[in-house]
Structure 1
Amino acid sequence: MSSPIPSVEEYMRREAYFIDVEDTLSRVVGIFRETGIPIVIVLSNSQNYLGVITDRIVLRSMLNIDAVKAKNVVMKVPTVNISDSIAKAARIMLENTVKGLPVSGHDDRIVGIITVDDIGRAAEKLYPSLKIREIMTRDPITISADSTIGKALVLMRENGISRLPVVENNRLVGLVTIRDIIDKVLQPKTRATRGEVAGEKIRSLGYKVSDIMTKSVVQASPEEELSTVVKKMIKNDVSCLVIVSHNRVSGIITRTDILEIVTSLEERGKPPIHIQVSFKIEDISPAEKSEIIKISEKYVSKLGKALGNGHLLLHFKEHKEKHGETHLIHCRAVLRTDKVNFTGVGEAWSASQAARVALDKIERQLLVVKELAEKYPYSEEILKRWIAEF
């Protein structure tokens, strides 16, 4: 694509909501409920930018919103300038796992925000004919309606995902998300221990997924265009669509997938595979970060042309599980190029080792595809189509 990358100014929204560092979370919750925006900007006593509070932090926390102050949960997220490209904004959102960023003007004062939905609107115009099958996550992990909520939680944790399509006799019947589990299971339990629950049903992890799942799931076909899918997401206020083909779940597409495709615009003229790393880890040393980059570069170099052109995204987070003072690290690696689209998950007691495990799983998937292609060279086109649909 040779057209210039749009600027943040073209798609940002001029409204922004500010709170003081001493304000309580109850005020933040009120703003989120009234406006539907994903971030609130936190200012210091001297009115300087400190960071943001996200709807995700507040909605998923089990804190007392009337007592906890903004300064206790503020995230230090970079701002983008109105002259920056939307590709840069998308990259920063991915790296910081946020759905919105503050936007500064030419005098560095904050003049608005840009959200993942705004990036989606840009993607509509940038990729008017892109088919969803080209960017969706194929063959997503699913769960049966009569499985326990506890099993759903384990699957999410093991695979580094936050949602599961629910199936019955191979047909889609619902969707369960980490937010469903927190809102309908974990938070009511916490409130009950504080004596705050009156007449609220308390569910346990032994309940069935069907007890808490969303039954009305927004769907799409693999042949639908990105522009249509973005419109569906915004209209229905959902962060993902389940892709259904021939009455079975064949994929899933999320706002993160859209951010990734827009981020790739920034890589024009750069090496064939762009490596991007994001961390949700409190303490990680520069040496460990450097080691992860080296491992990733060596991996890309080893596989060479077999990968095609695209990007490798590694996202790290730490579990509560500890060995001494060391947290168990989870790595989700996504390799998305013009030739392949694979995901690998790894867990280890160091981020670099978790990366090795995740990348090794992707390499094994690549080898399977290569072996099939060599065994049945006459069916290369059928193989590609099968992978796209599977």
Structure 2
Amino acid sequence: MPNIQTLLPDTLVPLAIHEILTRQYSEMPIVNEDGEYLGMFSEKCCMRVLASLIELIDASKRDPPKASNVMIPRKKLFTLDPGEDVFDAMSSLLAMGYSGAPVIASDGEFLGIFSERTCLGFVIEAAYSEIPSAKVGGFIDPDSNRLINADTDLHAIARIFVKTSYARLPVVRDDRIIGQISRRDVLNHSNILSSILRHRLDLPQTERESSLPAADTFLAAYGMLSDHSVKAFADTTSHSIDPEMDLFSVAQLFLQSPYRRFSVLEERRLVGQISRCDVLRHAIRLLK
């Protein structure tokens, strides 16, 4: 099982979150000492941890950062034109390691998100049927429920991530995108979470974190996070697949689920992983 970083089921939550953030993984499989696959600990699981902390410390008594303080600004975002070729756009996303990008009209209007998932079905069908190429504009997710404004606070954003499968939220003003926030951005900017992680891992506190009061609620939050292992927050419903499953069937599973990776199991033991990126790269190679 080379190159797959895993967690033991008794790994404490602070250590697991620290691994995900420092290694920049979106998820890590949980495997026991016998190699049996037990589930996945992901950024989404980390968001559930953060939501539990927010509820425990009574978020109404604190003034969390706003979207404008946390977002990646528009000028630093990779964006796409609706007239761009689908395969060129997908190749760019794969090369940069992005799962999606905002699509912006010539007048600056935000049109939606072009992602691995929105074009997955087309790319696979094209690979097998030699369908001519298409434009990005035909594969946009225009879902307005993912849009937030600059004043949306960090706690509200965390709750959106917990309740949905969104990995990123565009920040808009007057139908124009001014920035974007990912689950990782929220985790990295949570004072309460980062303070607990640093305290638990014996790392130096930053000025903003050390200013947090050691109130009973804070100590309770610290105790909750420090005493729980990953199995308490793990996703045990994520798909797993057989190593003999064909590419088209894997693609169909990805289309029907919010997951970016599937664990490959043989007799309940983890032998590998496959991602949407892996499927798309293979499909593009077939086309070329």
User: What range describes the TM-score normalised by the shorter chain of this pair?
Assistant: 0.5 to 0.7
2:104 is aligned to 167
Distance in 1 of aligned mates of 2:188 and 2:164: 21
Aligned-partner SS, 1:244? strand
1:80 CA drift (Å): 4.1
Question: Residue 69 of structure 2: which of 131, 134, 155 is its match?
Answer: 134
1:110 CA drift (Å): 7.2
1:146 is aligned to 83
AA paired with 2:142? K
1:177 CA drift (Å): 1.0
2:226 is aligned to none
**Is residue 145–residue 166 contact of structure 1 (8 Å, CA) maintained in 2?**
yes
Structure 1 residues 271 and 231: CA distance shift in structure 2, 3 A: closer
Output aligned runs, 1:104-253, within 5 Å.
113-126=40-53, 128=59, 129-139=64-74, 140-153=77-90, 155-157=92-94, 159-168=96-105, 169-185=107-123, 187-192=124-129, 202-204=131-133, 207-217=134-144, 218-253=146-181
1:159 CA drift (Å): 4.4
Q: Would you tell me which structure has more strand in proportion to its own residues? A: 1
Distance in 1 of aligned mates of 2:44 and 2:31: 15
**Is residue 219–residue 243 contact of structure 1 (8 Å, CA) maintained in 2?**
yes
Distance in 2 of aligned mates of 1:221 and 1:125: 24
Aligned-partner SS, 1:147? coil
TM-score, normalisation: structure 2? 0.53
1:249 CA drift (Å): 0.6
Distance in 1 of aligned mates of 2:97 and 2:37: 34
Identity %: 18
1:295 is aligned to none
Structure 1 residues 219 and 80: CA distance shift in structure 2, 3 A: farther
Output aligned runs, 1:214-363, within 5 Å.
214-217=141-144, 218-261=146-189, 264-265=194-195, 266-268=197-199, 269-270=203-204
Structure 1 residues 227 and 121: CA distance shift in structure 2, 3 A: farther
What is the root-mean-square deviation in Å for CA atoms of aligned residues? 3.6
Distance in 2 of aligned mates of 1:158 and 1:110: 30
Aligned-partner SS, 1:231? helix
AA paired with 2:69? E
1:76 is aligned to 4
Aligned residues: 189
**Is residue 123–residue 258 contact of structure 1 (8 Å, CA) maintained in 2?**
no
Structure 2 gap segments, 5+ residues each: 207-280, 282-288
1:363 is aligned to none
1:132 CA drift (Å): 2.4
Structure 1 gap segments, 5+ residues each: 1-49, 51-73, 194-201, 273-319, 321-390
1:137 CA drift (Å): 1.6
1:123 CA drift (Å): 2.0
Structure 1 residues 75 and 241: CA distance shift in structure 2, 3 A: same
**Is residue 5–residue 28 contact of structure 2 (8 Å, CA) maintained in 1?**
no
- Deviation string 1:255-279 (CA, Å, 9 cap, x unpaired) is 232344468443453386xxxxxxx
Look at both structures and tell me which one has the larger radius of gyration over its CA atoms.
1
Output aligned runs, 1:40-55, within 5 Å.
none
**Is residue 80–residue 89 contact of structure 1 (8 Å, CA) maintained in 2?**
no
Distance in 1 of aligned mates of 2:53 and 2:96: 31
Q: Which gives a bigger RCO, structure 1 or 2 (Cα 8 Å, sep 6+)?
A: 2
Distance in 1 of aligned mates of 2:4 and 2:86: 33
- Deviation string 1:248-300 (CA, Å, 9 cap, x unpaired) is 1111122232344468443453386xxxxxxxxxxxxxxxxxxxxxxxxxxxx
TM-score, normalisation: structure 1? 0.41
Aligned-partner SS, 2:184? helix
Aligned-partner SS, 2:17? helix
